[in-house]
Amino acid sequence: MKGQRKEAWHIGVIGGTGLYDGLPLDDAQEIAVASPFGEPSGPVTTGRIGGIRFTFLARHGEGHRIPADEVNYRANIDVMKRCGVTDLVAIFAIGSLREEMAPGHFVAADQIIDRTAGRERSFFGTGMVAHVALADPVCARLSGLLADAAEGAKATVHRGGCYVAVNGPQFSTRAESRMYREWGADVIGMTAMPEARLAREAELPYAMLAMVTDYDSWRDDVAGVDAAEIFKTLKTTTATAHKAIIGLAKALPKARKTVPADTALDNALVTPPPQRDPRLVAMLDSVAGRVLG
């Protein structure tokens, strides 16, 4: 959506397979959207909830077939941008590194420590260099609205917190889990990075609604993380997430005002036009079309 002005809300949601199932999604359509950055995790499903446009994408593909370290995060974010999304909500399961953040609770995390490796972290590169500010990776406005909606759905919500992103697919050792606690991390997961980095480069305000499924591996008196227990907890929390999405649609202000993430690329482009790689510039038509002209 080259040069698009962000005046009307269009909420993108990246989450689990079938997250939109059971939601009152009017005029729902499943659409395959191509990206120059490769294959996205799958088609998007778009429609309206309470008059607000929502577009959903299953992060791990249909049937959860793509592991976290093999998700094409660049293609996923690019596809959302091409769909005209103005704001991006990330929903995922997390492990807790704090006693008070118990399984079944929700965390609207606002900081991230990136411990991932081997993943494409930027849309930019040789021939078109850019450096975006990422001190505050989460949009405060969107996160607040999302937390309000989750509380309205009767969830216990922790506002703020540090998410440590790890590669996976294995869960942490006890030593790693304790180390992350000492670093100041509050929750742990495998997918917030580079998703949040790329959302910022695409000028999409990003917020996380993380569902606590377990206590990771830092407690000596408790067995380590078990996948079966995680999916058992998710059955309950996903229903609450549905209610939160409906609540968010109702709570959005009528007028969408600009936030800092909307103009993240204003001073980020480093390579002068004569030195820019035309091929990469063409690939960035959606992500950076507003500033590339």
pLDDT tens-digit map of 65-82: 999 999 999 999 999 999
Among residues 87, 114, 186, 214, the one annotated as catalytic is 214
- 148 included as an active-site residue: no
- 214 included as an active-site residue: yes
Among residues 216, 226, 266, 285, the one annotated as catalytic is 216
- Identify the architecture of domain 10-292 in CATH: 3-Layer(aba) Sandwich (3.40)
Tokens of 122: 């930027």
pLDDT attached to residue 3: 41
pLDDT attached to residue 265: 98
pLDDT attached to residue 6: 56
pLDDT attached to residue 2: 42
Residue extents of the structural domains in the chain: 10-292
Which residues in the chain show pLDDT less than 70?
1-6, 17-18
Residue in 45, 69, 95 with CA at minimum distance from that of residue 169: 69
